[in-house]
Homo-oligomer: A and B are copies of this chain.
């Protein structure tokens, strides 16, 4: 069945609440538990915040493309931007013991998503692939 939802939002932080609503709505429609929905919502917010801050460097009128695909087995999401290219080595949160502002977003994303990956094939901009497995195989 076609279960995918595609969304494009401007890179303005005020759209983060829209992203959270969409993410929660898609989780609910697909029968995910509230606690998992909460965790996924936070992770997707963090990933989009990072695109706004880092890939677009605060420019608020660029585009962010989100593609959700949910099956019985997994909640999959790709997040695309046309900003500065990033590589995986730079996507690192801070040491959790080293208390300082910032550096938690990646931790929140990896806390719930089993796959956290950049699509190497993307020529310009970035495509982040996030997958959470919903059942043990």
A-to-B contact residues, CB < 8 Å: 1-10, 12, 14-15, 17-18, 21-22, 24-26, 28-29, 60-63
| CB nearest neighbor in B for A4 | B10
Secondary structure at the A interface, as helix, strand, loop or mixed, is mixed
Query: Could you jot down 23 A-B contacts, CB within 8 Å?
Result: A1-B60, A2-B61, A2-B62, A2-B63, A4-B8, A4-B10, A5-B7, A5-B9, A5-B10, A5-B15, A6-B6, A6-B8, A7-B7, A7-B8, A14-B29, A15-B29, A17-B28, A17-B29, A18-B22, A21-B22, A21-B24, A21-B25, A22-B25
Instruction: With both chains docked as a complex, state the minimum distance between the C-beta of A3 and any C-beta of chain B, in angstroms.
Output: 6
